[in-house]
Amino acid sequence: MWRITRLLVATDLSERSQRAFERAIQLKSQAGATVTLLHAVEPGLFPAIGEERYADAEDFLRDQIAALPEDKRAGVTCDIRVGEPFTTIIDEAHKQNAELIVLGQPAKGGLKELFIGTTTERVVR
C-alpha cells in the first residue's frame, strides 16, 4: 500500500494557506509523515525589502509551528526561498521527494490570473 511520508505545504501567509497547513497537519498525524511549510519571497526586490520579507516570513512560519500542540510539532519544518512561487514549489517538491503538495484555495484572481492561471493551476499543470 502506498503511504505518504513527505508533505510540502506552500503558503502565501494568508488565511487560505493557514487552512491548508491545518489540513496537512491532520494528514501528517494520520500518515506519520513529515511536513515542510514553504514560502516563496518574490525575487527582484530591493535587498533591504527582500531581507525584511524573508525574516518576517521565517518568524511567522516558526510561530505557526510553535503554536501547534507539542505532539504535532515533530517532523514539521519551515523553508523560505526566493523565487517565483510556482517554480519554487515544484523545485522544492522534487528536491524533497514530496509525495503530496498541499496548497490553499486560490485568491480571487485578477487579470494576470486570467491569462497565466493561479499558482495552484500552474503547479498542477
Backbone φ, ψ for residue 11 (5° rounding): -130, 140
- Could you say which DSSP state residue 16 is in? H
pTM over 0.75: yes
Q: What's the mean pLDDT in 104-109?
A: 66
* Residue 111: band (very low, low, confident or very high) from pLDDT cuts 50, 70, 90: very low
Per-residue pLDDT tens for 14-37? 888 899 999 999 999 888 899 999
Decide: 117 and 125 in contact? Cβ < 8 Å.
Answer: yes
Strand partners of residue 38: 10, 79
Decide: 122 and 91 in contact? Cβ < 8 Å.
Answer: no
Sequence-distant (6+) residues with CB within 8 A of 46 are none
Distance (Å, rounded) from C-alpha 11 to C-alpha 5?
Answer: 20
Per-residue pLDDT tens for 41-99? 999 999 999 999 999 999 999 999 999 999 999 999 999 999 999 899 999 999 999 99
CATH architecture of 6-124: 3-Layer(aba) Sandwich (3.40)
Q: Identify the pLDDT of residue 117.
A: 56
